[in-house]
Structure 1
């Protein structure tokens, strides 16, 4: 196997993240296995190592921005160069009728915090390690389900549903992908977003009581296309549906919408940036 550098995969203890972590290890990547549960993370790392790969465990709850910052800082302290960040961890719509609203440790709507704010914070704080490891890649695992964010009601105090919260978080993640790709142009770091596969056989899909239509293997193949395949090295600031380039929600391309989202995000993340972090959120 050829060593392809170091990759951090969030949410690597189950489902798509686990499949991606194991596949990356088979490519010779040293995988940083992120999760919340020590036993589950250890089981994934053990399987990788028994198959001839290498892995390390990093525990953090991405519902906490402080823990997210600490995760990024531990990775940077342990590994000066990073070749790949796969922002995979996420929370789905939940169980129908999707009306149970939960807030994160920092008081943000939980899906917005985990599916959007945490990936943004990780990418920002790991930018120096990615630039030092260039050519490097960021792959944001999004969804075909996207809906504009109401910036005047980020906590969704009115008219909450888990499905709408999920769609908004994935809209924001796609918009951030396009912004960060522009910012990192000519640095050797590519940034792309994808909908890996529709209704994979994962806990997220089963919890939503949706019949699975595809496997995690199919989704992992699409992620690997951007993580180590030719597409992720040549393209940046793109959205993919499976293995094919597609269009995200049209609002994610709107400069005014993205500017407002950037400003709000900068305010929310300001306490967790600085102190050697990557470029500031603009």
Structure 2
């Protein structure tokens, strides 16, 4: 119930109570529209009231279908307020509805990771609407470029941008919220398919496809996610924010695997089990997991110079001044 306090003012300047109420409602309405009207939001539920909720806040990228959607549903069931992300509004709203139907709390944010400006808008909207973030799961990914795309609008090889660079940018932009939400966790959903990054040809201008089921663009982007996790773990030491990478399961029954013409070998549930282990268990920071255990990644992940090169390249590609 809204309480109106009567102030003693000259009668010539005294506004009718009804007009005061109308002005307050209009101002409130303008604030709400400003919080949700931009393309990066497309929210299916209320945003920005996490400070009023005593519940952790989680962002799962690429969570409108497949592994991401299943992880989002599980997090909603655990009591997280889940920010569902993807490109398809209808699928995103369906996931939100499923979470809410089970008594959970969720909303949808739209952003196409093929455009770094959309990633920036997504980060800006979350920074604007939330005071903290407790969990960031960098899951969105593609297996190969669609429609023969060779470069994104940002001039980057598409698979490298969607799977790695967009998440690098998003993580950088959301670090203050993660530190405010500490203890907080970052999880990079990587893969057992890993290829060393050729820093003389990161955009693969001289690479020729060899017809293998898992191409070099995908394998190098997934190793980049692991280098990112190892590098960030050192940077985030003593901040209360941890970061790990994992291979969730081999050839899960997902759109990406089916689109590649690969016969699925595992289920989405199996992959979600592996991700949730890094959400709930005490697993430390700066590790690569496979089969629910820390494993050794491709050799380049342990090369400090390679990690430095990737960090500097990434900062240059996102246009960071420092």
TM-score (norm 2): 0.79
1:26 alignment partner, SS class: helix
Does structure 2 retain, via aligned residues, the 8 Å contact 1:200–1:213? yes
Q: Hey, what does 2:64 align to over in structure 1?
A: 13
Shift of 1:174: 0.5
Q: Is 1:129–2:129 an aligned residue pair?
A: no
Aligned match for 1:71, one of 115, 122, 129: 122
Between the aligned partners of 2:315 and 2:119, the Cα distance in structure 1 is 16
Shift of 1:242: 3.3
Does structure 2 retain, via aligned residues, the 8 Å contact 1:94–1:163? no
Number of aligned residues? 266
Does structure 1 retain, via aligned residues, the 8 Å contact 2:145–2:158? no
Shift of 1:150: 1.5
1:31 alignment partner, SS class: strand
Does structure 2 retain, via aligned residues, the 8 Å contact 1:3–1:27? no
Between the aligned partners of 2:232 and 2:131, the Cα distance in structure 1 is 21
1:155 alignment partner, SS class: coil
Of 144-153 and 115-124, deviating more is 144-153
Q: Is 1:246–2:298 an aligned residue pair?
A: no
Between the aligned partners of 1:244 and 1:92, the Cα distance in structure 2 is 25
Pairwise CA RMSD? 1.8
TM-score (norm 1): 0.90
Aligned match for 1:117, one of 138, 144, 165: 165
Q: Hey, what does 2:153 align to over in structure 1?
A: 105
Between the aligned partners of 1:3 and 1:11, the Cα distance in structure 2 is 25
Does structure 2 retain, via aligned residues, the 8 Å contact 1:198–1:214? yes
Q: Is 1:216–2:262 an aligned residue pair?
A: no
Aligned match for 1:186, one of 230, 234, 238: 238
2:318 alignment partner, SS class: helix
Query: RCO greater where, 1 or 2, for CA within 8 Å and sep 6 or more?
Result: 1
